[in-house]
Structure 1
Amino acid sequence: MNLTKTLLATSALTVAAVGASAQEMADSMTLVSWGGAYQNSQQKAYVEPYLEMHPEVSASWDESSNEAVAKLRAMNEAGNITWDLVDVVAADAIRLCDEGLAMEVDHDEILADAPDGTSASDDFGDLIVSDCFIPQIAYSTTFGYRTDMVPEGVEAPNDICDVFDLETYPGKRSLEQRPINNMEWALLCDGVAKDDVYDVLETDEGQDRALAKLDTIKDEVIWWSAGADTPQLLADGEIFMGSTYNGRLFSVIEEQDQPVAMMWDAQVFDLDGWIIPEGLPEDRLARVLDFLEFATDTQRLADQAAYISYGPARVSSAPLVGEHAELGIPMGPHMPTNPENAQNTFVYNYEFWADYRDDIDAKFQAWLARN
């Protein structure tokens, strides 16, 4: 693939990459992701194969994706972009694109077609939620619970509102230390209809209502910021139930064989993918584009699903998803998109959180600080 003629004349420049040789590409990359099982799936599915093809190249990881927006703002202000490729959730990609911190790309120009010739933009389809966003996986945030801590004579939790029922299901919970998902679940369990959640949440009264519902369990919550926290808390028996990414729960259940089960009700679907920081030097950008074409092709995204239970973002990848690379179990039943698991999903509103995240986050953090 030709890769040179990529100039960063403006913050909203569309990539048109043509004609670079390997000598003009940087020989190292700093990739940013989330750590844990997900980052391991990236390492196994496409980083290691790429490095085997390019022994002159090295790649290092920074596990700061949960702070990507703040850190890229700071790097941009300092004029020192140290990251080459950043894995972010879709809403953060939209924010970074709107702020000119992520590069706009022509997906069909820089990404591989599907094996049957379908263009990349058609293969990814509606999952391209921003001109700067290169989708990788569809995942969900949901709850896991300790099967050996379910009270005797009580049905195992299977409803999102069981999280708020301390009488029937006593014990500690873990929730992510941010408003996203927590506010939606709180409103659902305070009687707001699913289709009305974001209309309510955009008002001050709705935000206060969500926080009041969260107040009912606040004393029993351990707050997490890293995806590995809840699986570890569950494995250690420190909590009864907790939220995290479905792939993390798959790991603790299937790979670690812990007494943990999934509660799929009101799982929140979301997308994860790459953004290219705006302002990379040409040699680093050329290397990133070469890696991206490989790492996001049909086979590589299917390969990633052999290591973690996240659905590949390409339509053409889905039929290639098979068994877990080490356990040998079929991965299809463990995907959040499996019909058995997706009977009552909650669809995340990317645009809402791109618009309201800073304001609601400030209110949420102030609420957290109150006794």
Structure 2
Amino acid sequence: MTRSLRCSVPFALALLSSAVFAAPQNLTVISFGGATKQAQEKAYFQPFNASGAGTVVAGEYNGELSKIKAMVDVGHTSWDVVEVESPELLRGCDEGLFEKLDPQRFGDQANFVPGTFTECGVATYVWSMVMAYDHAKLAKGPTSWADFWNVKDFPGKRGLRKGAKYTLEIALLADGVKPDELYKVLGTPEGVSRAFAKLDQIKSNIQWWEAGAQPAQWLIAGDVVMSAAYNGRIAAAQKEGMKLSIVWPQSLFDPEYWAVVKGTPNKKLAEDFIAFASQPQAQKVFSENIPYGPVNKQTLGLLPAEVQKQLPTAEANLAQARAVDAAFWVDHGEELEQRFNAWAAR
């Protein structure tokens, strides 16, 4: 009896040790919240947990690089994977805030849209900044950003994102600048002044939004007659039965990326998660739940036609759209945001 007890204790400890080491490792994944995070839960987080590869601990933020920089500077990284916009990805990569990634870990690049893989990030979806309006309240809807400025035929407040980015592009598009010349014009002092002069024309009609959920809420409430908005937020409202319409011509599209925070002890697991989230089937579920464009080209064929036509990457929606120039905003973002803030405060 004594002998069997002596044998069972090490055996039990071995089993306990094995169970501890076999337990799924936690992976903290930070994204932007809202409808996008809900879609990520269904498409990526829950299935990844079910796979046994790891356990996603999901959080959210507003895209502030300062939070990531604070972690990296003190050498205490509590976030593993973060969702970042393209300018922040470039800036953070230059500042050493993100790990360098091996693109070979994420699949054949030929199966992904161009621009998916960068030194420090892997694109997860493509979204668009579009114009939206409530067609129940407007018998004849706007068709361009020029109509957005037409307060005579479309009286009422307009919603715009409170910031230089997207807003200055929209102003120049409304002023007749061709999409392919947009950043050439905005890259000059005259072009910047032209954008602000255009904004001056409707400044008293602008209602500034800061959270992605606000445009749909304001449109439904009748607080604004039209608004710049993230296409996914409008699509989510449409799904709930709200009578909102999207104007795709002159929309601005941009990939969103997964990046791995510098110094994380979970780099391999982080890359495993990104590879998992880059598979066609996972991206199919994501785009079914929120119409942001998948970056894995094999995904489109898995989606119903009615879903495909709502995606920023649908051919018809891309026809008159313009990609946001991330490098431009890395180079000029700080000065333009400062000028915008001073202008908006006047």
Q: TM-score range by the shorter chain?
A: 0.7 to 0.9
**Structure 1 residues 54, 183: CA separation in 2 closer, same or farther (over 3 Å shift)?**
same
- Whether 1:305 aligns to 2:281 is no
> 4+ residue runs of structure 1 moved beyond 4 angstroms?
none
**Structure 1 residues 308, 107: CA separation in 2 closer, same or farther (over 3 Å shift)?**
same
Q: What is the 5 A alignment of 1:199-238?
A: 199-238=184-223
The aligned residue for residue 116 of structure 1 is none
CA drift at 1:249: 0.9
- Work out the percentage of aligned pairs sharing the same amino acid: 30
- Whether 1:269 aligns to 2:253 is yes
Distance 1:131 1:363 in 2: 31
The aligned residue for residue 247 of structure 1 is 232
Is this contact kept in 2: 1:68–1:88, CA < 8 A?
A: no
Distance 2:262 2:171 in 1: 37
CA drift at 1:126: 1.7
CA drift at 1:199: 1.8
Is this contact kept in 2: 1:97–1:130, CA < 8 A?
A: no
Distance 1:125 1:158 in 2: 28
Distance 2:272 2:120 in 1: 17
Is this contact kept in 1: 2:213–2:233, CA < 8 A?
A: yes
**Paired residue secondary structure (2:112):** helix
Bigger proportion of residues as helix: 2
**Structure 1 residues 353, 241: CA separation in 2 closer, same or farther (over 3 Å shift)?**
same
Structure 1: gaps of 5 or more residues: 1-21, 114-118, 324-329
Q: Which amino acid aligns with 2:150?
A: D
Distance 1:58 1:72 in 2: 19
Q: Name the larger-Rg structure.
A: 2
Distance 1:71 1:161 in 2: 38
The aligned residue for residue 66 of structure 2 is 70
The aligned residue for residue 299 of structure 2 is 317
**Paired residue secondary structure (2:128):** strand
Select the residue among 126, 144, 150 that pairs with 1:138. Answer: 126
Distance 1:208 1:129 in 2: 35
Select the residue among 41, 44, 50 that pairs with 1:43. Answer: 41
**Structure 1 residues 178, 85: CA separation in 2 closer, same or farther (over 3 Å shift)?**
same
Distance 1:193 1:55 in 2: 48
Select the residue among 254, 257, 263 that pairs with 2:241. Answer: 257
CA drift at 1:365: 1.4
CA drift at 1:55: 8.8
CA drift at 1:73: 2.4
Structure 2: gaps of 5 or more residues: 1-19
TM-score by length of 1: 0.82
CA drift at 1:298: 2.2
CA drift at 1:123: 2.0
TM-score by length of 2: 0.88
The aligned residue for residue 107 of structure 1 is 103
